[in-house]
Amino acid sequence: MLSEKETVKIDINNLSLFYGTKQALNGISMSIPEKRVTAFIGPSGCGKSTLLRSINRMNDLIEGITITGAITFDGTNIYQPGINVVNLRKRMGMVFQKSNPFPKSIYGNIAYGPKINGMSNKKKLDEIVEESLREAALWDEVKDRLDASALSLSGGQQQRLCIARAIAVNPEVLLMDEPCSALDPISTDKIEELILKLKEDYSVIIVTHNMQQAGRVSDYTAFFYLGKLIEYDRTRTIFTNPSLQQTEDYITGRFG
């Protein structure tokens, strides 16, 4: 389904996940392209956030989870024994539904990741902070108050700060779990513009309840229902000519 010009960044093969005896994902298989935006849509509880967290193994932190199948990232199965999960998560930035800046300065938030990865050169840290804030379209708004608390920023600015913090460690993939759900329309518009720009450098996966948002920002859309991948295709195809009636019913609001 991906074009010949597109490179597969993440390949998911027959992935199933159980919380105890409850199955949350059922045999998911899909290929996610490099430097594109892929949207996961579907009603609440359909498994889209669970799948997102499986891609950087955040579900490992939950007790009683069983995972079968494989997720291959640049040719390596991330669930094989001996994988360095810390290194894996460095390569995959995560942005959550609710902005979660650290109770530090704006500068301190961005410098945190590079510092724990061993970066101590002040000049280099300054460059990383400026570059990350520029990439997140926030530099011009905060450059004169980098020592101010990150908690003093507006909700939309805090979310862009969290994106800047994620890209400060130079990841390859950005995982976004409903990054606009708590934001006003103007802040949402800024984040969406940013997502379109970020795909020049990153492979972006976004979970969204907002189908209009999926239509605006994504190249590919995957529709999930009750833990199953129902349909996955180019976003334009999913929204204008889906293969399955169930997908069309969800897109048009007949159920969900």
> Average pLDDT of 5-20?
94
The region, left, alpha or beta by phi > 0 then psi within -120 to 50, assigned to residue 32 is beta
Rounded to the nearest 10°, the torsion over CA 88, 93, 95, 100 is 90
C-alpha closest to that of 106 among 65, 158, 67: 158
Q: Which two tokens stand for residue 102?
A: 């650290």
Cβ atoms of residues 26 and 18 within 8 Å: no
Model confidence band, residue 35 (pLDDT cutoffs 50, 70, 90):
very high
Find the angle CA(119)-CA(121)-CA(125) to the nearest 5 degrees.
75
pTM: 0.94
The region, left, alpha or beta by phi > 0 then psi within -120 to 50, assigned to residue 24 is alpha
Query: What residues contact 62, with CB distance under 8 A and at least 6 apart?
Result: 19
Q: Which two tokens stand for residue 128?
A: 């990383």
- For 90-143, what is each residue's pLDDT tens digit? 999 999 988 899 999 999 999 999 998 889 999 999 999 999 999 999 999 999
